[in-house]
Structure 1
Amino acid sequence: MTWWHAVVIFIAGMWAGTINTVVGSGTLVTFPVLVALGYPPVTATTSNAVGLAPGTVSGAYGYRHELVGYWPQVMRFAVASFFGAIGGTVLLLTLPKGAFEKIVPVLVGLAVVLVIVQPKVSKWVQKRREANGREHHAGPLLFGLLFVIGIYGGYFTAAQGVMMMAVMGMLLSEPLQRLNGVKNVLSAVVNIVAGTIYAFVAPVSWPVIGLLALGSTIGGQLGARIGRKLPPAVLRGVIVVIGLAAVVQLVLK
């Protein structure tokens, strides 16, 4: 690894940590960067899961004030994410390498679409809440969806936060800032579970992991403190451009 590779990976990790805390989809920054630098898709994914885990923990800590009094419910949600993440890692480790490389462009493309439509989904959720005028509580459907998202996150982490915000926004009546805090905790659970498993049994790059961990931890705190002041359209635009570039590169590779 050259020094400029290290700088690029560190900056990508910091940017991803910020984006993950604010809107999710930070993997759409780091994954294309690692692939562009020559890392195989599977190694890029597993190293991402391990390296970005400290950033998700940092972001979750930054949102701790929004979760005061809500931790018992968060812990119940975390159970679904925990077991889903295990399922996702099993899929990545058992499916043929060729299958993963074929499905990655589809997953990245799906993540980009979700990032694009996320504002419209948020507006629809808000209108639905205002029209309904009643409380929504956690039920089996929400736990089932969080479990499925956990599987996706354990297999390929990009945009899992956007998915979580969408389903929780539709099925819960909590303020969006609180839901963002819940999203950060659940993303941390998925990344820690997947990262721990990958660290022992999957191909990873430890220099990459170290740089991503340092950068994403700093980014997580930046996202929690000042990220909400950044224009969401700017963050979303960067994610979409990088994500589309990744799809093109992976398809042509």
Structure 2
Amino acid sequence: MSLLEALALVAIGGVAGFINVLSAGGSMLTLPLLMFLGLPPQTANGTNRVSIVLQSVTAVGGFFRAGARDIGISLRLAIPAVFGSLLGAWLALQVPDALFEAVLVAAMVIASVMMLLPQPRLDTRTLTPERLTPVVYLAMFVIGLYGGFIQVGVGVLFIAVLYRLLRIDLAQVNVFKVFIILLYTLPALAMFMLNDQVRWGYGLLLALGSMFGAWLAVRVNLGPRGAVWVKWLTIAVIVAIVVRLLLF
């Protein structure tokens, strides 16, 4: 690996970490970069998880220090996502690469429709376990399956689904999102490691930048216009992903 390639990994990692924590879609930058640097698609998919885990640790730590925490609810949401992620990672190691794009386009179209629907009336009551219906748990399993399979744009699905089903502020949705992504990415990363699909040098350089991007995104999310940032950045990411996949 040359110095220029190492710097590119850190720089793109920083941009991706900011986008991933505040919205989603950073893997749309990092996966192509890893493949451009010579990694096969499945190895790039596995190596990218190193960055996802460490940027998520940074984001969760930042939110917790700021007092934005609800471990009980987060764990309840994460459990079905973890099981889905294990199945998704296993499927990713079995299927042809061409299937990735078809799944990604379908998921982004669904998410875009959900984000562009009229804003739901927010439920300002304390989020209790009683508000987590079977539909919410099923949605977490399906999103976890998708995240374990491909990861790109998974945050869009978390934002769209939790925003609609729980009717909580988008900035609050983001706090749950990064915690769930951290927990379900760990077993997915382990599965890629067991199949020798992780290149640690690339992954850690990518993570170095993404951790800084995540730190910055936490501060934007907790700002007075955090929810606005989340909504419009998410819509922009959806458009970029769909256009990229349909036209190129």
Identical residues among aligned pairs (%): 28
Structure 1 pair 52–243 and aligned structure 2 pair: CA distance change class (3 A)? farther
Aligned partners of 1:42 and 1:203 also within 8 Å: yes
Q: Does 1:103 align with 2:99?
A: yes
* TM-score between both structures, scaled by the size of structure 2: 0.83
How far does residue 204 in structure 1 lie from its aligned partner after superposition? 2.0
- Corresponding position of 1:221: 215
Residues 115 and 236 in structure 1, CA contact (< 8 A), matched pair in contact too: no
Note the 1:160-199 alignment, pairs <5 A. Answer: 160-199=154-193
Deviation, 1:192, is 1.8
Q: Give the alignment's TM-score, normalised by structure 1.
A: 0.81
For residues 167 and 239 of structure 1, do their structure 2 counterparts lie closer, same or farther at Cα, with a shift above 3 Å needed?
closer
Aligned letter for 1:82?
V
What is the CA deviation profile of residues 60-119 of structure 1, one whole-angstrom value per residue up to 9, with x for unaligned ones? 222224634x321111111111111111111122x14xx2x1112223434654675564
Shift of 1:212: 1.4
User: Which amino acid is the alignment partner of residue 120 of structure 1?
Assistant: L
C-alpha contact 1:51 1:213 (8 A) present in aligned 2: yes
Contact 1:25 1:111 in 2 (8 A): no
What secondary structure does 1:197 align onto?
A: helix
What is residue 67 of structure 1 aligned with on the other side?
A: 68
CA distance in 1: counterparts of 2:245 and 2:9, whole angstroms: 16
Alpha-carbon spacing, 1:109–1:222, altered in 2? closer, same or farther (3 Å)? same
Report which of the two has the higher share of helix. Answer: 1
Mapped to 2, the partners of 1:149 and 1:245 lie a distance apart of: 22
Question: Residues 1-253 of structure 1: matches in 2 within 5 Å?
Answer: 1-64=1-64, 65=66, 67-68=68-69, 70-93=70-93, 95-96=94-95, 99=96, 101-110=97-106, 113=109, 117=113, 119-121=115-117, 124=118, 126-127=119-120, 129=121, 137-226=131-220, 233=232, 237=236, 240-241=239-240, 244-245=243-244
Task: Give unmatched runs, 5+ long, in structure 2.
Answer: none
Which blocks of at least 5 consecutive residues in structure 1 are unaligned? none
Contact conserved, 1:17 with 1:216, CA < 8 A, in 2? yes
Deviation of residue 246 (structure 1)? 6.2
> How far did 1:196 drift?
2.3
| Cα offset, 1:158, TM superposition | 1.0
What secondary structure, in the 3-state scheme, does the structure 1 residue paired with 2:99 have? helix
Q: Please tell me whether the aligned partners of residues 55 and 216 of structure 1 are also in contact (alpha carbons under 8 angstroms).
A: yes
